[in-house]
Amino acid sequence: MNKQQIFVKRPLGAADASTWSLETNPIPELEEGQVLVKNHYISLDPAMRGWMNEGKSYIAPVEIGAVMRAGSVGEVIKAKNNPTFKVGDFISGHGGVQQYVATDGKGYYKVDPKLAPLPTYIGTLGMPGMTAYFGILEVGKIKEGDVVVVSGAAGAVGSIVGQIAKIKGCTVIGIAGGADKCKYVIEDLGFDACIDYKNEDVSARLKQECPKGLDVYFDNVGGEILDAALGRLRMHARVVICGAISQYNNKQNMRGPANYLSLLVNRATMQGMVVFDWAERYGEAGQQMGKWMAEGALKTREDVYEGIENFPETYNRLFSGDKLGKLVLKVIED
């Protein structure tokens, strides 16, 4: 049987256990050209909150009654004349929050568990890592000597953004919640400094850490922290809008930046980015980050929880901050 988390209600504000229903259904029968994938791990990402909203976005919303959308990695256990994958292959794609998925393989790619643990393929070598890579290099356009500030610095995307910026010769200041996360960002990831937004004045610390201003701000949180960063922009600075997790559960209107005129004064740019725009170059990014990982220049960390029945409470760790690194749920039953 196949345990699945079915999306049953569009949340107003934060999602809770009533947003999904845990169902047990028969494992799907294969049609011609399909493979059956036994999901081992699923990816939990802040973007999931946006996928639940009805209305125009960069991707269609999850439909009521559908399996909750999620990135996944698993093993092909059956195949019916699929031209790309065979039994025994490990593949990653968007298999949803379920234990088994039948697919024609479109949007999936092979991974090698001998080269990296499976959770890494939905973390640093998956969508979060691709987001970090293209966001900071292609949108942020970093160059050696830049002062780079990254919010959500202990998270799946921010932690990779900052490390790539360090590899490229930048000064990197992180922003994270709590002393433990800031310690991790500095001591484990090698950032030059980290601001604890829960216990420090972010604007004051940015002035201290970036006395001449900042060249690139990579934003994962929005709200007051975005405003603080806008107040420290240097001439021709670049602001990368990757996410706004502080606003996703806002029951009122999303808070926009009050300091946006800093963009005009400093001839700066603010650009949104969605990783799917670079899909044709994922292989390039994966090879480069894999090389950095092998050299010890890029560190990866997955925070893994177990049990598909625990999906709602694990998902909410995205917003409570009770996690470190990439949040992953193991759905296979040993």
Query: What backbone torsions phi and psi does residue 199 show, to the nearest 5 degrees?
Result: -130, 0
pLDDT (average), residues 265-282: 95
Note the pLDDT of residue 251. 65
Secondary structure of 210-233 in the HEC alphabet?
A: CCCCEEEEEECCCHHHHHHHHCCE
pLDDT (average), residues 66-94: 97
Which range, 47-61, 91-105, 314-328, is most confident? 91-105
Separation between Cα atoms, residue 290 and residue 215, nearest integer Å:
27
Half-sphere exposure of 243 (CA within 13 A, CB side): 27
pLDDT in tens, 153-198: 999 999 999 999 999 999 999 999 999 999 999 999 999 999 999 9
Note the pLDDT of residue 193. 98
Q: By C-alpha distance, which of 242, 203, 207, 240 is closest to 224?
A: 203
Query: What backbone torsions phi and psi does residue 20 show, to the nearest 5 degrees?
Result: -130, 160
Helix (H) or strand (E) holding 286: helix 282-295
In DSSP terms, which residues pair with 303 in a beta bridge?
A: 327
Judge whether residue 241 has pLDDT over 90.
Answer: yes
Judge whether residue 325 has pLDDT over 80.
Answer: yes
Average predicted confidence (pLDDT) for the chain: 95
Separation between Cα atoms, residue 274 and residue 262, nearest integer Å:
24
Judge whether residue 253 has pLDDT over 80.
Answer: no
Q: Are 217 and 240 in contact (CB under 8 A)?
A: yes
In DSSP terms, which residues pair with 219 in a beta bridge?
A: 241
Contacts (Cβ under 8 Å, ≥6 apart) of 187:
none
Judge whether residue 293 has pLDDT over 90.
Answer: yes
| pTM for this model (two decimals) | 0.92
Q: Are 110 and 179 in contact (CB under 8 A)?
A: no
Note the pLDDT of residue 231. 96
pLDDT (average), residues 276-300: 94
In DSSP terms, which residues pair with 208 in a beta bridge?
A: none
Q: By C-alpha distance, which of 233, 175, 167, 230 is closest to 201?
A: 175
Distances in whole angstroms, Cα of residue 227 to Cα of each of 146, 188, 255: 20, 28, 10
